[in-house]
């Protein structure tokens, strides 16, 4: 892992400083923490993997291995640096939210695909079960039982996926609200400095 890869994981640009890294890490950690997905084992496992990557990137950047090289810092007046620092703080928060949003959207897209597959299975299994009701052959009855069981299993999976999608949509709405609040705070601070 290099500095750029670690910063990308946190959703930051190459000019991010230690404060930006800390803020972005906290934002991402709050949103991607595996405990937030405790009701869905698959999402929790995926969040655990992403959380580990997030932790590795943060550890790399804070250990000194991912620090900026000489000459990468800026210069300017103290007021300008203060303003840039506060704007970097907001930029880091927004970048962290953007990174978390990307992860959640990817999870949501994967679940939507699984939900479509489950719906197809429900429809096909139900159709097979209905078509074989009149036939008394033992083999057909076995096929009917298998189709009905797979349709029931897919219906349960469909319900679980739907609940998880609602949770993810709630998290995405939270991210959008946080983003608007951060943008509002940054705008107010920018107006105060002018």
Q: What is the DSSP string of 81-119?
A: HHHHHHHHHHHHHHHHHHHHHHHHHHHHHHHHHHHHHHH
3-state helix, strand, coil split of the chain in percent (to 5) is 80, 0, 20
Look at residue 76 in the predicted model and tell me its pLDDT: 41
Q: Note the pLDDT of residue 135.
A: 62
Contacts of 182 (CB under 8 A, 6+ apart): 90, 93, 94, 97
pLDDT at 175: 87
The first and second tokens of residue 76, run together, are: 């300017």
Give the pLDDT score at 70: 39
Distance CA 26, CA 36 (A): 15
pLDDT at 73: 41
Residue 88: what pLDDT?
64
- Look-up of token digits 């609940």: 163
At 134 the pLDDT is 62
Q: Is the pTM of this model over 0.85?
A: no
Is residue 171 within 8 A of residue 102, CB to CB? The reply is no
How high is the pLDDT of residue 194? Answer: 66
Residue 140: predicted pLDDT = 66
Tell me what pLDDT residue 6 has: 84
Q: Which residues of the chain have pLDDT under 50?
A: 69-85
DSSP helix/strand/coil, 73: coil
Q: Which pLDDT value is given to residue 139?
A: 66
């Amino acid at each position: 892992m290099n500095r750029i890869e670690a910063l990308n994981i946190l959703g930051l640009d190459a000019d991010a400083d230690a404060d930006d890294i800390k803020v972005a890490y906290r934002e991402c950690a709050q949103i991607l923490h595996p405990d937030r997905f405790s009701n869905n084992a698959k999402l929790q496992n995926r969040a655990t993997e992403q959380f580990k990557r997030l932790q590795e990137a943060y550890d790399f950047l804070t250990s000194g291995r991912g620090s900026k090289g000489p000459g990468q810092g800026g210069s300017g007046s103290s007021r300008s640096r203060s303003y840039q620092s506060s704007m970097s703080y907001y930029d880091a928060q927004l970048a962290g939210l953007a990174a978390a949003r990307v992860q959640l959207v990817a999870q949501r897209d994967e679940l939507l695909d699984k939900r479509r597959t489950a719906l197809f299975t429900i429809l096909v299994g139900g159709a097979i079960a209905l078509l074989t009701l009149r036939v008394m052959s033992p083999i057909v009855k076995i096929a009917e039982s298998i189709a009905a069981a797979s349709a029931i299993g897919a219906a349960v999976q469909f319900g679980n996926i739907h609940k998880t999608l609602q949770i993810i949509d709630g998290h995405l709405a939270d991210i959008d609200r946080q983003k608007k609040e951060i943008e509002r705070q940054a705008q107010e601070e920018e107006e105060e400095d002018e």
